[in-house]
Structure 1
């Protein structure tokens, strides 16, 4: 499990074949924006996204902001066996290298891109990924949770 703690979600502009993620939901935390869809470069079936060890999984979140945003910060947690673990991000700047250019405006649709390197050393485990994009004041622009499993 300690190797899972180093799972890094690296923001970058990366285009790949995309699969619609069928099972995700917006968090119940207050949010200023709305998520319309989530895509993944790996297969996400009706119940889970499969994160293959030794691969880079790309995600695209299609959303709109409910406010003007001058700065954005990505924050990711994983729920593993009921324990909330914050994952460190080498690039938390949601305005750089993720397909977004700040300031964001209230209303238009945007596409946030991120890559998740899934190392071979990670254990095969089920988890729920909780992903936030927050504004300059620390308010949630959006928050999603995605059931996932690390596989071979």
Structure 2
């Protein structure tokens, strides 16, 4: 996909997510049941608040139809349609899984992680694109777009 079309797509996704204020799936075979940001249901809030100089906690409850030996976490902030890597996340997705990896098919799992929000980050609205990726095939287990604001 050429860069122009990808940028237009990201801008449209950013607009849709920011207008509706709820997380949206963006890939993977897992069914996501709930997304919590700092203990609050993202579907009941307009956005996930990321406070500078503090950890934000993300919790995702999901079920998948296939098993995974190991997964990796990938996180980007989509700013103005451009995905920017979020620094400082624990890329070892299995660290946040309960029950721990391997992930069995048909079992409800909860993924919990902390994101440290650096004080130097600008105060902006953005969309968090969080992916849990199969370590062996590099395909998404799940992908979420989460409206957020850095304060």
TM range (shorter): 0.7 to 0.9
1:41 lines up with 2:38 in the alignment: yes
Q: Unaligned regions of 5+ residues in structure 2, if any?
A: 1-20
Q: Unaligned regions of 5+ residues in structure 1, if any?
A: 1-21
Bigger helix share: 2
1:54 lines up with 2:53 in the alignment: yes
CA separation of 1:42/1:102 partners in 2, compared to 1, >3 Å: closer, same or farther? closer
TM-score (norm 2): 0.76
1:78 lines up with 2:102 in the alignment: no
Residue 88 of structure 1, CA deviation: 3.9
Q: How many residues align?
A: 128
Which of residues 17, 22, 29 is equivalent to 1:32? 29
Could you give the per-residue CA deviations for residues 89-114 of structure 1, whole angstroms, max 9, x where no partner exists?
A: 55311112554511111111000001
Contact 1:32 1:139 in 2 (8 A): no
> Which runs of at least 4 in structure 1 moved beyond 4 Å after TM superposition?
42-45
Partner of 2:145: 145
RMSD: 1.9
